[in-house]
Amino acid sequence: MDFKKMIAFRKTVCWMVVGCGCLAAQVQAEKLASFWGTSEQESPYYRIVDVPVPDEIVLEAGSFDLLPDGRLGIGTRRGDIYLVEGAFDDPPNPRYHRFASGLDEVTSLSWHNGSFYITQQTEVTKVTDLNGDERADEFLTLSDVWGFANYHEFGFGSKVDPDGNIWVTLCLSRSYESLVPFRGWSLKVSIDGNTSPVASGIRSPCGVGPNAQGVMFYAESQGPWNGSCSLKQLKQGGFMGHPVSFNWYDLAPEMGPAPVEPNTRSRMEMERERVKELVPYAVVFPYRRMGQQLSGFSLDTTKGAFGPFEDQIFIGDYTLSILMRATTEEVNGVWQGACYPFREGFATGLLANQFTPKGQLIVGGTNRGWPVRGPKPFALERVEWTGETPFEIKEINARPDGFLVTFTKPVDADSAGTAETFQLESFTHVYQQGYGSPEVDQTNPKVTSVTLSSDKTSALLSVSGLVKGHVHSFDLSNLKSADGEALVHAHAYYTLNEIPEHTHR
């Protein structure tokens, strides 16, 4: 099913037209297609390599980090930390060594000054091997000030940031309530064990990490007060949208009084005006089209070893076993940006990823507990750039009267020079207490003119009908590269919280 059909379908109630073509589809021997149906187009540029795991190890990877000696650290849901040699070899030749065990689910792992700083569900811990026998023997609790008593109270942390802090995001109790302190909050824990509040209003987080400018973001899930999954900025003093956690402001006097309660069945764009602390979704990932359960993410700092997406965020999806890209930019003091399909067909539900010194991307996770498309109970895989540059939308940036769309390769001046090649739709979600939201308030902004850069790798679009606060979805199915190729992924989604007042960059 292509995107057009899907969109069309969402808009129609009539289902009787369901064709039976799929049923008749013969089972093909070729590579497994998956969600976007673009696996075959992706594979010439990015290949997925299985990193084998010995039978006796259950490796439900929840977090990764690199050691200075080139080993890969893996924190697991079962509560182990493994050190792996040879995971980046070609072909992979991994040797696993269990460094620590008995922990709660290790959702983040960060090597810093000879110790691991980990976030496990119950606390942030400094894990050290004191006697040099390659096994951890000291586990110092840096912070456990939050309540941990109910179902679904997952916690996720960042790696240690340049200021020596770990940013922790705490899922709501049962994912709907805040029954014990700081559920639904983000806290900052320093490597010295000082804890300070960052923001309230979190629902069900997963990954936490910085963008290229070092600003901290987290992945939020669709649900109450979240029309779709999104990346959100963890803004100091901010409110991330779900008001059930307001009850803990008394415990965090430095945060000031609790914000004004947002109105339900409203729009984020309207409530931002009323609730000054409310931080809008920076990058909305339209539900299903761009995942159902965002998870861990990493920044491509491989300086080109992973292809043309330097400094971009690579984020996984647990349910659909796919990888996506995201870019962010600050406009009028607010973070926003776009997301783009990247690679599909992973073997299990993705929880975390990590760039390697060789410029590969290690991904891993598990399919236990929730619905997942990937068939394996757990897997470790490696995404490698083949060296061939795919024809992709590299990045979309907002401009005062439209967008700047940059491509990985020069485009064909004929197709790119035509305004109709750039098909836009806009929509937003209902900001509400109820679960999720349909896409609403659809409009059709029109591209009125296209100005190509002299090297034909970017197109400046003038758009009539930009809608502040809306997701702008791009369909460039008719665009061709200078070599006549179609885009590997013709769609991208830009969340236009703010329209720039003047051109920057």
Partner 1 sequence: MTLLLTRFFYMGDGPSLLRGSKGYSICLGVLLSIVSMGCPPVYAEPFSPGLVQTDGLASHVRGKVWVDALGCVACHDDGSLDKPQEFGPDLTHVGDRVRPEWLVSYLSDPHTFKPGTLMPDLVAALPSNERTETVEALVHFLMAQKAADEQSVKQTSGSVENGQRLFHSIGCFACHPYGEDLKSSGWLENLQSKYTPDGLVSFLKDPLSVHPNGIMPDLGLSHDEASDLASFLMGQSSSAKSSFQLINNKIERGQSLFGGLGCVQCHSALATERDTGNKAKLTAPSLRVVNPSKGCLSHEEGSWPDYDLSDLQIRDITAAFDSLEHLSESELIQSHLVRFNCIACHEREGVGGVSESLDALFTATDLNLGEQGRVPPSLDGVGAKLNPVWLRKVLVQGAVARPYLNVRMPRFGSAVADLVVGLFVHADVLPPVGDIEMPNQNDSRRAGRDLAGVDGMACITCHTFKGTKTGAMGAMDLTLPGQRLTRDWFHHYMLQPQRFRPGTLMPDFWPEGHSSKPDILEGNASQQIEALWVFLSDGFSIDTPKGVHREPMRLLATDAEAVMLRRSYPGIGKRGIGVGYPKGVNLVFNAEQLCLAMIWKGEFADPAGVWLSQGHGNVRPMARQQIRFPNTPQVQLLQDALSPWPDSGERSAVHAFKGYRLDSQRRPTFLYEVEGVLFEDTFRDETKGDSVWLRREIKTNAFENAGSYIIRAALGEAIIDQGDGRFRVDKDLIIEVPEGAEAWVVNGNEGQELRVRIPDSGDGKALNLNYGF
* Residues 229/220, Cβ–Cβ less than 8 Å: yes
Cα distance between residue 166 and residue 164, in whole Å: 7
Q: Which is nearer to partner 1, 148 or 494 (CB)?
A: 148
* Residues 87/364, Cβ–Cβ less than 8 Å: no
Contact region for partner 1 (CB under 8 A) — 144-152, 202-210, 449-457, 458-466?
A: 144-152
Alpha helix segments (H runs only) across 179-276 = 268-274
Alpha helix segments (H runs only) across 382-470 = 413-416
Q: Which of residues 213-232 bind partner 1 (CB under 8 A)?
A: 223
Q: Which is nearer to partner 1, 127 or 416 (CB)?
A: 127
- Smallest distance from the beta carbon of 380 to partner 1, in angstroms? 18
Cα distance between residue 121 and residue 143, in whole Å: 11
Contact region for partner 1 (CB under 8 A) — 42-50, 116-124, 211-219, 493-501?
A: 116-124
Helix, strand, or coil (residue 4):
helix
Cβ contacts of 343 within 8 Å, gap of 6 or more:
42, 46, 48, 322, 323, 383
Stretch (H or E) spanning 441: strand 439-443
407 touches partner 1 (CB under 8 A):
no
123 touches partner 1 (CB under 8 A):
yes
Paired with 403 in beta bridges are 398, 461
251 touches partner 1 (CB under 8 A):
no
* Residues 358/305, Cβ–Cβ less than 8 Å: yes
56 touches partner 1 (CB under 8 A):
no
Judged by CB under 8 A, the residue of 4, 95, 368, 504 near partner 1 is: 368
Measured between its terminal Cα atoms, the distance across the chain in Å is 38
- Smallest distance from the beta carbon of 22 to partner 1, in angstroms? 5
Largest pairwise CA distance in the chain: 69
* Residues 240/279, Cβ–Cβ less than 8 Å: yes
Q: Which of residues 468-497 bind partner 1 (CB under 8 A)?
A: none
- Smallest distance from the beta carbon of 137 to partner 1, in angstroms? 5
Cα distance between residue 268 and residue 10, in whole Å: 22
- Smallest distance from the beta carbon of 60 to partner 1, in angstroms? 9
449 touches partner 1 (CB under 8 A):
no
Contact region for partner 1 (CB under 8 A) — 371-379, 404-412, 449-457, 477-485?
A: 371-379
249 touches partner 1 (CB under 8 A):
no
CA distances from 122 to 26, 172, 282, 360, 364 (A): 49, 14, 28, 31, 22
369 touches partner 1 (CB under 8 A):
yes
Helix, strand, or coil (residue 326):
strand
Q: Which of residues 258-297 bind partner 1 (CB under 8 A)?
A: 265, 288, 292
Q: Which is nearer to partner 1, 329 or 344 (CB)?
A: 344
139 touches partner 1 (CB under 8 A):
yes
The dihedral built from the CA positions of residue 264, 269, 274 and 280, taken in this order, carries a sign that is positive
435 touches partner 1 (CB under 8 A):
yes
Contact region for partner 1 (CB under 8 A) — 32-40, 211-219, 419-427, 487-495?
A: 32-40
Contact region for partner 1 (CB under 8 A) — 63-71, 77-85, 228-236, 323-331?
A: 77-85
- Smallest distance from the beta carbon of 3 to partner 1, in angstroms? 13
- How many chain residues touch partner 1 (CB under 8 A)? 72
Q: Quote the tokens at residue 112.
A: 């810093």
* Residues 488/481, Cβ–Cβ less than 8 Å: no
Q: Which of residues 147-206 bind partner 1 (CB under 8 A)?
A: 147-149, 151-153, 174-176, 180
Cα distance between residue 260 and residue 347, in whole Å: 44
- Smallest distance from the beta carbon of 56 to partner 1, in angstroms? 14
- Smallest distance from the beta carbon of 135 to partner 1, in angstroms? 8
Judged by CB under 8 A, the residue of 52, 70, 304, 434 near partner 1 is: 434
371 touches partner 1 (CB under 8 A):
yes
- Smallest distance from the beta carbon of 317 to partner 1, in angstroms? 11
Judged by CB under 8 A, the residue of 10, 47, 274, 468 near partner 1 is: 10
Cα distance between residue 474 and residue 487, in whole Å: 12
377 touches partner 1 (CB under 8 A):
yes
Judged by CB under 8 A, the residue of 226, 295, 302, 319 near partner 1 is: 319
DSSP 359: S
Paired with 96 in beta bridges are 84
